[in-house]
Structures are given as C-alpha cells and as structure tokens.
Structure 1
C-alpha cells in the first residue's frame, strides 16, 4: 500500500524480495513488492527485466552506476518513473539479502524499517538516486572511457593468446538429430534489441525456415515471438522450464573440465540432453556448433559484440568471442545485416492470391449492381456472337 503524505514525502509498505542475481529475482517479483538487488552498474537488460515485473521501488546494495563505464540501466529505470535507492557505502551488512528477503517492511522518506525474526525493529538509511546523480556519474564514465577501453583490450588480447589453442580444436562431436548442414541457422540470445530483431527477421524466417538455436533465455525469446526452437544451448541458468520442455534438442554447456551445474536442472525435469564441455560463453559455443555442423549461414540476434555489452555481463574482456568470430567470420552475419541484404521473393502462389484479392471486389460489384450486370451480359453476348 502506497501513501502520499505531502509534497516531497513518500511512504510505502510492502514485502521485500531480494536476490544477489537480478535475473533470478525478476522471476518472482511483482508490482506489489519492493526489490532489493546487489548489482553494480545495472545494465539495460536488467532494467528491462525489472520494468517487465511492474516493480515501482528498487533498492541496490551496490551503486547503480560506478562511473567506470556508461551503464544504461539506472537512466532507463528513472525515465520509467521507478524510485531508486542505494545503501550508503558506510553501512556494511553482508547478510542483508538474507535478512530482508520475504520480510514486510516500510519505506518512509529514505528510511527502510523492518522487524527481525527476534522482533527487533531495524532501520536502514537509504540514499535516493536522482537523475542529476546518474547524469554526473554518466559524465564521469565518459571521461574515463578511454582508460577502461585500454584495460579491456589488454585483457582481451592476454586471454586470447592463452586460449587460442582451445578454440583451434574442434568441439566434441555430438550425435545431434538437428541437421544443420547446408542450412541457415539463427542463434538467438536475449540481449539488446532482440525483440525488434526477431520481428525484423519474420519474413526471412518464414521463407528460409532456418534452424533456430536459443541460447538459454533466447529460447524463451523465440517462444514469445511465436517460434519453437530446434536446439537449446546453454548452462541453463536463465531459461524457463516451459522453454526447456518445448521439445527442442538440448545441449548443456559445461566448463572445459566437465563441470556443468545446469545438467541437474535438466535431469530433474526428466529431459534428455547432450553435454558439451567447451571454453567461452554459451553464445560462442552455439555459433561454433553451427559452424562445425556445416551451416551455410549463421545469423545472430541479441549477441554481445562490444565492450559495453561485456562489461555489463561482468566480463573484463571478450577473448572467446574475438576468437570465435575470427574463426567463423565468413559464415557469420548480424540480424540487422540480414534485414539490409534480404529481399522477400515473390512466388507464383503469392501473385495468385494478389490477383484473386483484386478480382473479388470487381466480381462482387458486377453481381450486385444491375447496370454493371446488364453491361456484362451485353459484352458476353457480343463475344459469343463474334466467337461463333
């Protein structure tokens, strides 16, 4: 319940839901809750997930923007009218996530009050995050962007040098029922603008019938757009049970040493799966899998391709992606590139439907209008006289 006291004053009472992983929290978050996250430099995708839940108040144990790079999340949340708060840096309580999760609390004028299981009332001071605060951090981030880029490049090249032999070797061979040889393959990741790109490629997908690979939550993205994935690849940490049970073939991405926490989730659902140990990210593995199964063309949607994308994912470099894209580059194209190059082909069937659509109103007019019907009968009589 939200109460307005006077201008500049705000009060609300609600259940707090908390999680150290924002994407996990969003699965159970609703508009009636207060969200408690621990997410430095909130990215655009996380902000979008929070907005989808309808939540109106978000408290962050970490800074919404540290100033290291221009993260978009806080700006997007503020623009949507969401109230943002941070815990002061001098208030250190590592167990706060566990203490507050599921707890009834009241938020009044930048103070969060709740009672512990022992009945002790606790007051946590909050700092309200304003547009001016985020704009100042945004300016700071742009000033330091060149230094951040330099460190990012150094890290990328260092790890690329160490890991290049891993990516030169072929992946473990899997006995897949999904045949990709000489087929177009679309790899969908739930990254920036994936919804728009899927909509843009609707005509292309309808005509070419490509193999559809969903990378973790990318499988949910395909289902939401009205498609059924042929293959699901990932560590299974951000995909729904509904998507896992859609009938697609499942490839669980494991660490190079064989560890795969996601396999237990698939096993618990009673589903068959393939285990694929490989370095790099799951989207890298999905592209490599299509390449090594002799796909004719690999189209990517929502994949991470630049420094900001990777910093938002908490990765300080993009060595694996650089190596994979270098290896398969001749067959790789971004969704926006397909939209620019692809033109729908006109078929005789389509022409037939167009002609039928044009003739239908003309025929109806001839049948209804007596003058038009009389003229048509005269023309028919004249034609028969001439023909015979």
Structure 2
C-alpha cells in the first residue's frame, strides 16, 4: 500500500512535458557556443546567445543531433546574409529566435523543456517567447540582408584597413608569433576546422594524406575532427574551451589563441590538464592564427579543410572575421589551397579500371607459369596466398 501511494505521488510530481504539445528535450545552455557544443547530446534543446548565427555553429548543432535551438538573440539581424539559420531549418530543427537574455536566468541546465509554436515552456510554465523561424521566414530575412551587401562590402574595406593598422607588425614582420617545436619547413600542412563541409572534404583527402604525410593542424574543434578520422594532430590551435581534453592530450603541441589583450578562453582548464600552451595574441580568428604559423614556419603548401573560401562564407563570419582572413590569405598567396581543389589535384594517378586490368593480366601470367610446374599443390597455395594479399591491398587502396 505504501509503495502504491509513493508511486501515485511521484506521478503527480513528475512534469507532464511528454504529454504536452511541442518539441521536448533537456535544456543545455551557454553564452559561449564552443563550450555548449561539447556538452550537447542527441535530443537536447540548445539555448545559445549568438547574433547572426554562422553556418559553422549551425553545422555543429546539427552534428550534435539537437532536438531544437533557442537563441537569445536574432539569428539573422539583417546586417549581412549569414548562413546558419538557413542550414538549421533545412535540417528540420526547430529554431526559436530572439527570446531575450532573460532565458539564462529563467531556466537551469538539465531541466526538461518544450518548444511550442513561438514559446518555450518548462511543463506548463512559460519561460520566454520569440520568433519561430521557418524556411519562408529565413528566406525573407536573407533576401532583406542581401540588399545591404554593398554597404557590408564598404564596411569590410574600413574593417580591413583597421585590422591592417592593428596587426601591421604581425602580418608584415611576424612580430608576436610564438616559437614552435612543430617543423613546417618545406612540408605540406593540412589545416582542419570543424566548419564548412569538413567531413566530406577530409575524406576526399585520404589518399593525399597517405602519400604526402602533411603536418596535421587542428583548429578549435578541428583537433577532434582529426581524432575522429583516425589521425593524431601534430598541433592544435585555437580557443582552449573549444577543444576537447582528448584532443589536447593527443596533440604534439598546443597553441592558445589569445585576443589582442592576451586573454585566453579556457586557459585554466588546459593548465589543469598539466598542459602549458604557447600563447598567440592576435585580433584575427583562430584559422588566421594557424595559417600565419604555417606560413612563418616555411610550409611548402597549406591545404585547408572546413575553412572559409567563398565570398558567401567570408560574409558569414561577420566583418571582423572576414577582414582578418582575407588579409591573411593575401599574405600567404598561392601556397594556400582549398581541400576541394587539393582533392582534384592529388587524386589517385591510376584509374580503378586500368589498375584492375593490370592486376588480372599479371595474375594470368603468373597462373600460366605456375601451371607449367610439376607441383600442383604449390601452385594452388601460392596463387591463393597471392590473391588474398592482392584483394586486401585493393580494399585498402579504394577504401
């Protein structure tokens, strides 16, 4: 009887989120997206504080398989056509926009919430309301943002001038670059960020990596991308709260991207792991910092995975990120190659059909010679062993 009464009371106290309409999930919230991304699980409701959400953040949220995204700020402010919201709604992930900063005090991490239309609730209690984005609303906002492109390009010119003045000694003379143990001189370098098309691009470079054995550099979450693909990063560069402990421990060397005042996000966390990173203060992005390090080290070729390459992607980073990246690319020049171009340049030199025909011809020749021998058992054993070895090599080549 006591047990039955307890069960009834527990049922009465249990939030009825599952029986209420909307998309439900456990809330995870953080004002800094890189920290939040490391704590997300499938089905979580991610609460972020990101004005003009970029595609890299949206891709990471999709990869985490979140159930919904709630943004304290407008995901598209109209300043420029950022790509994140378009990617999220295309993936059919509910996006509730502009709910206000009060959401961070209204709800605690781990509470089960639900998104119904344009509001977020804890059970039946209203937490905040905003704008529920859809394919139509995002398209409308993007069209309006694109009308201001000329103004954004003019603002970019001003931003580039300011960045050049601020970072003149670094860009022209290398002042402020840390001394590294990683050897770039005369070698290919592969820079990997967890952003634009990083999975497919890294997969397309498998044969290139095998042949040229480039220096592997993970930028922010790119260190984890390399680990997940079975590689050990020689160097990780970026904000320390954007890199997992496993990637930090595995890396041959760690460089912390500090801002112009020398502040580093997540530095204490890394020092707790008994890792003392080398500091690189720059107003540019972590991607720019990695490019400049490879360039200063005398890299022969720098191949980028998941790093901005088109005008759309530069705009997606906002004016500050666009200016520093464009200037960094101008400094490096022709030694910088995007992953998609590199995959075309360094694809396997012999076609699959030609290779198979060559192998069959070789096998036929061997069979003719061995049939002429008097020891039939030896022939069968040798041919069987050779065929097994050959099949394994072909699997490795085309995998």
- The structure where helix makes up a greater share of residues is 2
Matches within 5 A, 1:201-350: 201-306=205-310, 308-316=312-320, 318-344=322-348
Pair 357,249 (structure 1): closer, same or farther in 2 beyond 3 Å? farther
Pair 262,294 (structure 1): closer, same or farther in 2 beyond 3 Å? same
> 1:31 aligned to 2:46?
no
- The number of residue pairs the alignment matches comes to 354
Pair 13,297 (structure 1): closer, same or farther in 2 beyond 3 Å? closer
Matches within 5 A, 1:37-52: 37-52=48-63
Among candidates 66, 75, 83, match of residue 86 of structure 2:
75
Contact 2:282 2:289 in 1 (8 A): yes
Alpha-carbon offset, residue 241 of structure 1: 0.9
> 1:192 aligned to 2:203?
no
Normalising by structure 1, report the TM-score: 0.78
Q: 1:195-219: per-residue Cα shift (whole Å, max 9, x none)?
A: 2221222111110111111112111
1:165 aligned partner: 169
Separation in 1, partners of 2:268, 2:358: 56
Pair 249,49 (structure 1): closer, same or farther in 2 beyond 3 Å? same
Alpha-carbon offset, residue 312 of structure 1: 3.4
Contact 2:24 2:67 in 1 (8 A): no
Q: 1:327-346: per-residue Cα shift (whole Å, max 9, x none)?
A: 22143222233233335456
Separation in 2, partners of 1:179, 1:354: 41
Which is worse superposed, 236-245 or 290-299? 290-299
Pair 344,280 (structure 1): closer, same or farther in 2 beyond 3 Å? same
**SS across alignment from 2:216:** strand
**SS across alignment from 1:316:** helix
Separation in 1, partners of 2:243, 2:127: 37
Q: 1:338-358: per-residue Cα shift (whole Å, max 9, x none)?
A: 233335456xxxx99985665
Q: Return 5+ residue gaps in structure 1 as ranges.
A: 377-388
Q: 1:4-60: per-residue Cα shift (whole Å, max 9, x none)?
A: 88xxxx435543222223333232223343222222222222222222222222222
Alpha-carbon offset, residue 244 of structure 1: 0.7
Separation in 2, partners of 1:13, 1:19: 19
2:113 aligned partner: 105
Alpha-carbon offset, residue 359 of structure 1: 4.7
Q: 1:227-284: per-residue Cα shift (whole Å, max 9, x none)?
A: 1111112232311111111142112233455443443222111124333344522222
Which is worse superposed, 167-176 or 96-105? 167-176
Which is worse superposed, 358-367 or 234-243? 358-367
Matches within 5 A, 1:42-191: 42-87=53-98, 94-102=101-109, 103-114=111-122, 121-122=125-126, 124-172=128-176, 176-191=180-195
Contact 2:97 2:133 in 1 (8 A): yes
Separation in 2, partners of 1:107, 1:15: 11
Pair 188,162 (structure 1): closer, same or farther in 2 beyond 3 Å? same
Separation in 2, partners of 1:290, 1:59: 38
* Alpha-carbon RMSD: 3.4
Which is worse superposed, 123-132 or 351-360? 351-360
Pair 354,226 (structure 1): closer, same or farther in 2 beyond 3 Å? farther
Q: Return 5+ residue gaps in structure 2 as ranges.
A: 1-15, 380-399
Contact 2:285 2:321 in 1 (8 A): no
Pair 280,363 (structure 1): closer, same or farther in 2 beyond 3 Å? same
Separation in 2, partners of 1:247, 1:269: 13
Pair 362,257 (structure 1): closer, same or farther in 2 beyond 3 Å? same
Normalising by structure 2, report the TM-score: 0.76
Pair 81,327 (structure 1): closer, same or farther in 2 beyond 3 Å? closer
Separation in 2, partners of 1:97, 1:48: 23
Separation in 1, partners of 2:117, 2:259: 47
